[in-house]
Structure 1
Amino acid sequence: MRRGVSRWAAAAVAALVAAGLVTGCGGEEQPVREVAAELPTVAPVEAPEEAPADAPSEEPPAVEAMGGRPSPSASAKPRPKPSRTSTKPLAKPKPPTETQVPPAPPKPAPAGCKPSHRGTKATQSQVKAALADAAARTYWPTSAPDIRIPSVLMKATAWQESGWQSTIVACDGGVGLMQVMPATAEWMNQRFGQSYDIDDYRDNAYLGGTYLAWLTKYIGDMYFESDYRLDASLCTAELNSCLLNAVIAAYNYGHGAVAREGQPLAIPNPQYVYNVRELMTSCECLAF
């Protein structure tokens, strides 16, 4: 959720791809080789995961506004089928429907800075359960209930951002599993009537999922006519061909660098997108 790529994530990805990350904590990115043609087009199908018995049974406050599961008494509504004849993004985007936007990403941290840690480290099984729970949530229960954040996207993003380290604090201020920026967390809590605690690993996962869901709606409304499918099979060799790549890019660089009013969809950080897409199919974390 921040500009720049994590050192720990680079080490994990280096074993997967020939061109790994070379940035430290918010450092400058090196020139990126052409990688779009190598992107996997189909993400692995995962069996639905269930949180363990010791998972939290109480939802955070105001979950009905955003981020909670539908009420058991609510009648199930069929997910609408996209009516678009093309899955390509609009060349000229529609005006954004979301007028309240999160703050811009911070400036990169100084070179050579080392991350710090705070709090009690969550176990691997706890992190897995938190990410699975965040992926299972209905983030827009009223206006866009068909938005879903794939479990593999949650896991891969958390691995790219922090290596699943719940206590890590980056040099630019990113916190925890999803490297949530404090200002972004404050904005999301205000926007959706939540009280997520950025230092709690479960809430941190919810914040990351909430931000991915917000980006899905914001970019999906502008460029994809409210077709919110984060489906790898819709992507072509062109990085700006699908919503999935755009949401991944915006999580790292901010919505304003990807979705620009009156301009075509942009992917300013191709290496980051490539890394997350690769992790969605090859991350060791998928086997945890």
Structure 2
Amino acid sequence: MSVTLGIDIGGSGIKGAPVDTLTGQLVGERRRIPTPEGAAPADVKAVVAELVRGFGLPGPVGVTFPGIVQRGRTLSAANVHKDWIGLDADTLLSEAVGQEVHLLNDADAAGLAEARFGAGAGQDGTVMVLTFGTGIGSALIHNGVLVPNTELGHLWLRDKHAETWASDRARERDDLNWKQWSKRACSYLQHLELLFSPELFIIGGGISKKADKWTPHLTLDRSRVVPAQLLNEAGIIGAAMQAALLAPPVQSSRAAAKKA
């Protein structure tokens, strides 16, 4: 068993749990603290530190972020405080918790988890995970390797901005039934299929809980389309996977003595 702590920063709550990164299973109770209003870096840092202290698990910590993350810096902040933009968030959180912290985009985290342990388990080639909610998050994985920060919800379909036209919020805003929404989503997926030719689309986000409503209507000519399986645990699992991947290897005492 290789256990790493994963933390998922969401719009309403910050959730964490220890994860066996060899199996994708949570090995302890998930804990949740409400996201501070405004989600300023100092306030979020305090919540993350509280969660890490509460679990008392040594080693690296993986944390998701609702925006672009590049080399530990947060470069966008659509639904959190603007002070995150350009911030060295890895260093900020690492210093706050006294452990090595690695951030990654929240959709990327969910994608890693789904591709390895969820609906994409055992699938070779290119897998695309899309989360339909307030916007559209995306993760692109090829043979288990993540291409980070794709942000494909911001594509334009002629005169339509994809996530403001085909997200779950757009479905509610425009009072669409599931067949009507699926027609929009299908147009979006067909465009992605043309660009990336994935073997598999995994559909996550809030709508994955209602898969029976849309799966009969959402089909493509070449790619398979399936609902996500890990639901609210995907971000936590993916964050832990990333942290375990980036952590330096643990050197055995015998090897260390030999090297010395």
TM-score (norm 1): 0.28
Q: Which has the higher strand share?
A: 2
Q: Which has the higher contact order (CA 8 A, sep 6+)?
A: 1
Report the structure number with the largest CA radius of gyration. Answer: 2
TM-score (norm 2): 0.30
